[in-house]
Every structure is written in C-alpha cells, then in structure tokens.
Chain A
C-alpha cells in the first residue's frame, strides 16, 4: 500500500543530499583510500560528477546509495591519482612486540597500514562488510561481482591482514 501520494513526494535536492550524506560519504572514502586528503578529493570528485548528472542521481531509488556506489567506483577506478599518492611499503617498519603495553593500539596502527597494501577490491570488500556492515549480496551488487567473489576477496584480505598484524595467530588454512 502506498501511504504517500505520489504528488507529495518531492525529488531530493542536491543540497539536501550532500548535507545528509556528505559526512558518511567522506568517512567511507577515508576508509577506502586510507587518507583524509584523498578521501576529500574522492568525495569532491563524486559530488561534482553527481551534480553534473543530477537528473540521474535524483531519479535513483536510493540517491544516497547511488552516491555511495559512485564513491566506491571512483575509488576502484582512481588508479592514476591514487598510485601517485600512496606510498606502500613491502614490510611494515617498527612492528610492536606482543609485550608492549599499548599492543592493541599498535595492532590497529599496523592493521591500518596493512589495509593500504591490500588490492583495492579486497579493501573495498572489507570496508563495505565491516565498516558499512553491508551484506555480501549487496556488496556483490555494488561491486558488480558475485557473492562468492565477495567472500573469496574477504577471506584473502583477512588472511593477509592476519599474517601481517603482530601478535595474531598466523596459523592459517590454505586459501582456495
């Protein structure tokens, strides 16, 4: 039953959507890119594009989800700009010992740096799964892959993180 007459439903405006979703988009972009500066660039790029294609965004069933998808897609396709800014390292320096009193914080720091080393698709899966708390089916739809690919990417990403974070059990099973 449609409780709201169609005539009463006004299309969302760009200003309102930015105001309501901007913070969340920036946080998502931060988790994806690992850098606040890059995240701001990412979201700005998406908002400019969204503005220029506003008729398409506003016509979406869920404009906010549409913008989120744009942020993820932009992150996945932003190879040139991202690679010129990220400075991945093969091995983490200054890894903490497990006896360190601030081990947990050190582990989080190590985890954050390891996330930057993951293939972008794997990082996106982790962010969408454990930060956005999206179900695998929705992640799959958003990334344009199958749910099994999402699970596979998540498993591989977690295995990589486990092997790199000090103080965690590294006795992992062989991945398919």
Chain B
C-alpha cells in the first residue's frame, strides 16, 4: 500500500464524513450554531429527554439552578464524601467535594424503587437484610441471569441509599449476586434470609418522569424483574406505576 493510496483512502473517508454531515444538515436535523433562532430547539431536544433539562428550562425562567438537586430535594449536608454516580462521566475517579445534589437525588430515586420492590415477598417480620449489587445492571429488569455490571454506585450514594431505606432493612453491598447466596451458586439460598436487589440505571422518561429497572431475588423460584416509573413530587420521587414487561419467577 503506497502513501498515495493511503491519501486517496483518507480523502475519501473525509469526504464521507463531510457528506454525512451535509446530509444531516440538509434534513435540518443538526441544530444551528448558537446565537441563531434555532438555539432554543437544541435546548428543547435536551429538555425532552431529561429531567435535568426540565430543570434547565426552569433555570431559564428563573427557577432553580443546576446546582440544586435534580430531585428538588431540600436535604442538605456538609458531608465531604467523594461523589460519583452510576454511569458517571469519563472521569472514572471520584472527585472530592460536598455531597452534591445528584447524590441526594439518586439516593432518593433508588430508595423509592427499593421501598417499592421490597414490599413483594416481604417476610412478616420484615427483611433481616438486603443485599444490593453495588453497580447497576443494564438487564436489571429483563429476567435474565447474565451479569454485566455498569459503573459502580459511588460510596456516597450507597451510604445515602442505605439511609433512605433504613426503615426497610439494613443494606449490604455486594459486587456479584452469587456473593450473597449460600454456596455461591446461581440458585443458592440468599444468606441470612435476605433478598438480593439489582438496580438498573436511571433513565429519563420525559418531563418530570424517570424509569428505573430493578429486580428482587430470594431464590430461583422467587424473583421479580420490572421497571418502575417515578415522578417528581416536590422534594421526593414517587412510584407512579410500572412500564414494560414484568417477569416473575
């Protein structure tokens, strides 16, 4: 392969990228540059997809700013615990600082989900312990046993989640489901009579709504997988129902 051949190929590649960009622009699908009247459209795209963007709109109208919790929480803390969140940005390491709004918001969201699902199959005396996977799973609600952990839940959020559901049961964080089962086998009984909770990522569902996949497992013949829809209610998040399929084992 000669240098000229390489140049030809790269030139064609550049033309291909330019062509794709031009076609997208011709379809009026790429937003205009800032400062043009279409800027608002771009912000609207983001707004349609996220609760965060709802807060942006509120900001533009003089509402709460981005430093405030997405969940609208009034909870404040001076805890200096490093904060990251599931599926965080490219910086994989936690950054120091005060407990930020998203820590509280994520914990409230996950807390509401866990309170809801742990009602199922709850023993009369309550759960002695909940084993919660320390990283969300993309397949948390689809009834499968494949295990593909996503970015771990930050320690600060873990602590806050545990605080949110302390009235339900104490939480023990585990990295794999089998770590909470007797014998470490797939269908082993959950240790200490507890349940295993697998959380999914928090997905915006438009407006003030979110979807969160979750499963609860107490045995191969005692498990639930489903997706909860939550809606912001003042400072908290409330379960408004489920969406999509529900799997019961």
Q: Which residues of A contact B (CB under 8 A)?
A: 13-15, 18-20, 22-23, 26-27, 30-31, 36, 40-41, 44-45, 47-57, 59-60, 66, 69-70, 72-73, 77, 80, 104-105, 107-108, 111-112, 115, 126-127, 130-131, 158-159, 161-162, 165, 168-169, 171-173
Q: A15-B56, A108-B12 are in contact. Are A55 and B97 (CB under 8 A)?
A: yes
Q: Does B178 contact A (CB under 8 A)?
A: no
Q: Mark B110-154, 1 if CB is under 8 A from A, else 0.
A: 000000000000000000000000000011000000000010000
> Could you write out 26 A-B pairs with CB less than 8 Å apart?
A14-B56, A15-B43, A15-B60, A18-B43, A19-B42, A22-B34, A22-B42, A27-B24, A30-B24, A41-B49, A44-B46, A44-B49, A44-B204, A47-B46, A47-B49, A48-B49, A51-B52, A51-B56, A53-B89, A55-B95, A56-B89, A70-B89, A111-B12, A112-B20, A172-B1, A173-B1
Q: Mark B94-116, 1 if CB is under 8 A from A, else 0.
A: 01010010100110000000000
Q: Are A53 and B42 in contact (CB under 8 A)?
A: no
Cα A26 to Cα B6 with chains together (Å): 28
Q: Are A70 and B90 in contact (CB under 8 A)?
A: yes
Q: Are A54 and B24 in contact (CB under 8 A)?
A: no
Enumerate chain B residues within 8 angstroms of A73, measured Cβ to Cβ.
89-90
Q: Are A15 and B105 in contact (CB under 8 A)?
A: no
Q: Are A130 and B14 in contact (CB under 8 A)?
A: yes
Q: Which interface residue of B30, B59, B90, B95 has the most chain A CB atoms within 10 A?
A: B90
Enumerate chain A residues within 8 angstroms of B53, measured Cβ to Cβ.
47-48, 51
Q: In whole Å, how far is A24's beta carbon from the nearest beta carbon of chain B?
A: 10
Q: Are A66 and B89 in contact (CB under 8 A)?
A: yes
Q: Which residues of B contact A (CB under 8 A)?
A: 1, 5-6, 8-10, 12-17, 19-21, 24, 27, 29-35, 39, 42-43, 45-46, 49-53, 55-56, 59-60, 66-67, 70, 84-85, 87-91, 95, 97, 100, 102, 105-106, 138-139, 150, 204
Cα A54 to Cα B64 with chains together (Å): 14
Q: Are A47 and B59 in contact (CB under 8 A)?
A: no
Contact of A19 among B43, B106, B204 (CB under 8 A): B43
Q: Are A52 and B85 in contact (CB under 8 A)?
A: yes
Contact of A53 among B5, B8, B30, B88 (CB under 8 A): B88
Q: Are A26 and B52 in contact (CB under 8 A)?
A: no
Q: Are A57 and B42 in contact (CB under 8 A)?
A: no
* Chain A residue at smallest Cβ distance from B94: A56
Enumerate chain A residues within 8 angstroms of B16, measured Cβ to Cβ.
108, 111-112, 115
Q: Are A168 and B1 in contact (CB under 8 A)?
A: no
Q: In whole Å, how far is B59's beta carbon from the nearest beta carbon of chain A?
A: 7
Cα A52 to Cα B43 with chains together (Å): 16
Enumerate chain B residues within 8 angstroms of A49, measured Cβ to Cβ.
87-89
Q: In whole Å, how far is B117's beta carbon from the nearest beta carbon of chain A?
A: 22
Cα A165 to Cα B11 with chains together (Å): 13
Cα A51 to Cα B39 with chains together (Å): 18
* Chain B residue at smallest Cβ distance from A67: B89
Cα A59 to Cα B97 with chains together (Å): 11
The 5 closest A-B pairs by CB, nearest first: A51-B52, A48-B50, A44-B49, A19-B34, A69-B90
Q: Are A44 and B45 in contact (CB under 8 A)?
A: yes
Q: Are B31 and A26 in contact (CB under 8 A)?
A: yes
Q: Are B50 and A51 in contact (CB under 8 A)?
A: yes
Contact of B17 among A26, A31, A40 (CB under 8 A): A31
Q: A36-B27, A111-B16 are in contact. Are A50 and B89 (CB under 8 A)?
A: yes
* Chain B residue at smallest Cβ distance from A113: B16
Given contacts A52-B85, A107-B12, A108-B12, 15 further A-B contacts (CB under 8 A): A15-B60, A23-B31, A27-B30, A30-B24, A36-B24, A44-B49, A48-B46, A53-B85, A55-B97, A60-B91, A111-B13, A130-B13, A158-B10, A162-B5, A168-B9
